């Protein structure tokens, strides 16, 4: 019955409301006469004033339409809407007085006033009663999922109001840690203790818990998610009501996950005031400025107060986007934003931009980074990652720039793929240039997997969960180090400040995380369940598709862990790793240039095997799926 009523056409629902409100007009008018007159006088006045009943009813229909009382949805009716009902009733009371005077009906003057009060009360009560009836029907409907809202504060109350408009869930109770609220009724829902949740979930009265406490710290939120997930119910984290109102529909606003929720550790605080001194008043060029890391670098540079930020990017749309963002961020700061199209492999263009813009520091984030793509496009990957790095680094050295920071990857350590191997070659080039650069300080920063960047597991898993799965993972035991985009970008800026020349900087990212655990956490935070053996009624399947070409089970940050040296920041470490001689680097680049010039993939791989220490391509079929990580 609930579904039938909800699915009725809106025109039919409005007609039903108009009919109901119209029927209340003569009923309330009669009751007003009864309340005003002595029983012995009632028949006399009704006989003399009978014409008022049809006249006011017809006039009342027009009043109802003008005040649009049929536009209020019954199952979403709020008490504040009663103000409009009062105005409509008052309008009808004035009309009743006018009709009585015009047609000399002899209606006592107090009857229209009593009628207005009665009509307001009746129409509001009818809607509140209908709303309660709809909620009762919803709870009996097998399609509605009973939920508990964790948090009986303002956000929780507002979210309950929003959820009552949903056809998928029905709020049953509040849960709150505040013992003074236990036993109270808030927004027509009882407030329960967290200790009662397990029993309600076990009995089936609650199937989903919605966390509605925007003020929770990240630590407490992770703890709460872990506690609730162990009770056997689905857990979702909802944004604030303001975000719900400003954004898309409720179902689309369920915040699947925040990158910090997936780290398995506290985000590293890299906001050190002294860092700004390294960039204040300088002209800084960011290559790959439109990429995930490059664009965040540009944004974070604003807080350091540089004189100029040069955005160097090959992709026109990416450059347009970051240029627009930067101009909004730098408005009124005096920081000049200079967008420049160009390839890092074009030495003439790089030299021109450095000279024209007086560049003093280069943050080199331009690179091809997607492992499967580079595995099948070896020459292009090597050209961009190795030749491009050499081009920009040599331009920086010959121009006598202050610093050059290379953004690298943990995949460069004992690589199993061409992408990682080309990044290691780029590192070797930078290390070599440092030996012949008395003025420019070169440094290398190694990242783990950056959550939220293009191609990372976060956007991939979010798309897969939103589409109903499956969520694809390449191997049951694959592990990765993870960091957020702000952490990665800030680490680059810190490296620029700490650089002494030839440094390798890494961030202490704690223990590596299993990617399959990340997938499970994201599914849980999206309020879904994993479909697996023993839980066939789950919603989202996790599918293991096999390692991709060039992928390994685990990543490392350092070739030699014994070389670590502390920096002024406890979570940032410096390493000194083995480098090639100038003659060896020159030979490596000759072989690589020749292979790239002829687009000879086997020769590129031969150069990689020869010059990159620890390179060992795994025996994985090139037909492996390109989804997952």
Query: 235: closest CA among 180, 184, 178, 175?
Result: 175
CA distance 185 to 183: 7
pLDDT of residue 289: 93
CA distance 253 to 244: 6
CB atoms near residue 72 (< 10 Å): 16
Q: Is residue 270 a contact partner of residue 487, using CB atoms and an 8 Å limit?
A: yes
| Sign of the torsion angle spanned by Cα atoms 337, 338, 343, 345 | negative
| Sign of the torsion angle spanned by Cα atoms 559, 560, 565, 570 | positive
pLDDT of residue 240: 46
Q: Per-residue confidence at 520, pLDDT binned at 50, 70, 90?
A: confident
pLDDT above 70 (res 262): no
pLDDT of residue 449: 67
Q: Per-residue confidence at 569, pLDDT binned at 50, 70, 90?
A: confident
Active-site residue (options: 139, 277, 369, 411): 411
Reading the block at residue 122, the tokens are 């009746």
Tell me what the mean pLDDT of segment 85-111 comes to: 91
3-state secondary structure of 317: helix
Q: Angle at Cα 367 formed by Cα 361 and Cα 368, nearest 5°?
A: 175
Q: Per-residue confidence at 7, pLDDT binned at 50, 70, 90?
A: low
Domains of the chain and CATH, by start: 2-138 (no CATH), 144-255 (3.40.50.720), 281-514+543-611 (3.40.50.720)
Per the annotation, the verdict on 411 as an active-site residue is: yes
Q: Is residue 473 a contact partner of residue 627, using CB atoms and an 8 Å limit?
A: no
Q: Per-residue confidence at 625, pLDDT binned at 50, 70, 90?
A: very low
Report the percent of the chain where pLDDT is more than 70. Answer: 79
Identity of the highest mean pLDDT range in 96-100, 135-139, 263-267: 96-100
pLDDT of residue 241: 45
Tell me what the mean pLDDT of segment 80-108 comes to: 88
Tell me what the mean pLDDT of segment 337-359 comes to: 96
pLDDT of residue 149: 93
Q: How much is the pTM?
A: 0.56
Q: Per-residue confidence at 442, pLDDT binned at 50, 70, 90?
A: very high
pLDDT above 60 (res 251): no
- What's the Cα-to-Cα distance from 239 to each of 23, 156, 235, 340, 564, rounded to whole Å? 43, 10, 13, 38, 42
Q: Per-residue confidence at 510, pLDDT binned at 50, 70, 90?
A: low
Query: 93: closest CA among 80, 106, 77, 111?
Result: 111
Average pLDDT of the chain, as a whole number: 81
β-strand 336-341 against 308-313: which pairing, if any? parallel
Rg from Cα positions in the chain: 34
CA distance 166 to 177: 26
- The model's pLDDT over 283-320, given as tens digits with 9 standing for 90+, comes to 999 999 998 888 888 988 888 889 999 999 999 999 99
Reading the block at residue 430, the tokens are 């930078």
pLDDT above 90 (res 95): yes
């Amino acid at each position: 019955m609930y579904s039938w009523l909800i699915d009725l056409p809106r025109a039919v629902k409005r007609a039903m409301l108009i009919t109901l409100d119209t029927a209340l007009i003569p009923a309330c008018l009669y009751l007003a006469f009864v309340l005003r007159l002595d029983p012995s006088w009632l028949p006399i006045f009704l006989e003399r004033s009978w014409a008022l009943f049809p006249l006011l009813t017809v006039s009342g229909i027009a009043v109802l339409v003008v005040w649009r009382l049929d536009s209020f949805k019954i199952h979403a009716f709020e008490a504040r809407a009663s103000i409009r009902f009062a105005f409509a009733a008052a309008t009808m009371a004035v009309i009743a007085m006018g009709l009585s005077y015009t047609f000399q009906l002899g209606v006592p003057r107090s009857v229209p006033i009593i009628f207005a009060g009665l009509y307001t009360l009746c129409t509001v009560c009818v809607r509140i009663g209908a709303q309660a009836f709809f909620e009762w029907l919803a709870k009996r409907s097998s399609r509605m999922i009973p939920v508990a809202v964790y948090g009986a504060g303002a956000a929780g109350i507002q979210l309950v109001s929003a959820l009552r408009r949903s056809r998928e869930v029905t709020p049953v109770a509040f849960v709150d840690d505040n013992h003074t609220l236990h036993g109270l009724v808030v927004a027509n829902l009882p407030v329960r203790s967290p200790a009662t949740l397990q029993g309600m979930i076990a009995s089936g009265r609650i199937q989903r818990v919605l966390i509605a406490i925007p003020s929770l710290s990240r630590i407490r939120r992770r703890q709460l998610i872990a506690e609730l997930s162990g009770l056997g119910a689905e857990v979702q984290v909802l944004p604030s009501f303001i975000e719900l109102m400003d954004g898309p529909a409720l179902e689309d606003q369920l915040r699947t996950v925040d990158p910090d929720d997936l780290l398995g550790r506290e985000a590293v605080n890299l906001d050190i005031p002294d860092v700004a001194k390294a960039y204040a008043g300088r002209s800084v060029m960011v290559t790959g400025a439109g990429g995930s890391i490059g664009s965040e670098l540009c944004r974070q540079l604003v807080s350091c107060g540089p004189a100029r930020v040069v955005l160097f990017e090959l992709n026109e749309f990416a450059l347009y986007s970051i240029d627009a963002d930067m101009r909004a961020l730098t408005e009124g700061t005096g920081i000049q934003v200079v967008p420049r199209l160009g390839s890092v492999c074009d030495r003439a263009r790089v030299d021109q931009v450095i000279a024209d813009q007086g560049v003093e520091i280069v943050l080199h984030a331009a690179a091809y980074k997607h492992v499967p793509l580079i595995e099948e496009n070896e020459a292009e990957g090597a050209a961009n990652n190795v030749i491009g790095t050499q081009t920009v680094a040599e331009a920086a050295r010959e121009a006598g720039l202050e610093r050059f920071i290379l953004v690298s990857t943990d995949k460069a350590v004992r690589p199993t793929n061409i992408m990682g191997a080309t990044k290691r070659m780029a590192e070797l080039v930078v290390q070599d240039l440092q030996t012949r650069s008395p003025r420019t300080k070169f440094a290398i920063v190694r990242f783990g997997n950056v959550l939220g960047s293009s191609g990372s597991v976060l956007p991939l898993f979010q798309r897969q969960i939103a589409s109903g799965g499956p969520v694809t993972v390449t191997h049951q035991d694959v592990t990765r180090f993870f960091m957020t985009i702000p952490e990665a970008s800030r680490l680059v800026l810190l490296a620029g400040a700490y650089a002494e020349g030839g440094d390798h900087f890494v961030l202490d990212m704690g223990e590596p995380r299993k990617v399959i655990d990340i997938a499970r956490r994201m599914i849980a935070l999206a309020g879904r369940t994993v479909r697996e053996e023993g839980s066939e009624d789950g919603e989202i399947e996790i599918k293991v598709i096999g390692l991709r070409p060039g992928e390994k089970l685990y990543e490392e940050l350092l070739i030699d862990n014994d070389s670590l040296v502390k920096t002024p920041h406890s979570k940032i470490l410096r390493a000194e790793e083995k480098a090639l001689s100038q003659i060896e680097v020159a030979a490596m680049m000759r072989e690589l240039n020749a292979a790239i010039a002829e687009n000879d993939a086997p020769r590129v791989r031969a150069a990689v095997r020869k010059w990159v220490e620890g390179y060992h391509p795994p025996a994985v079929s090139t037909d492996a799926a390109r989804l997952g990580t």
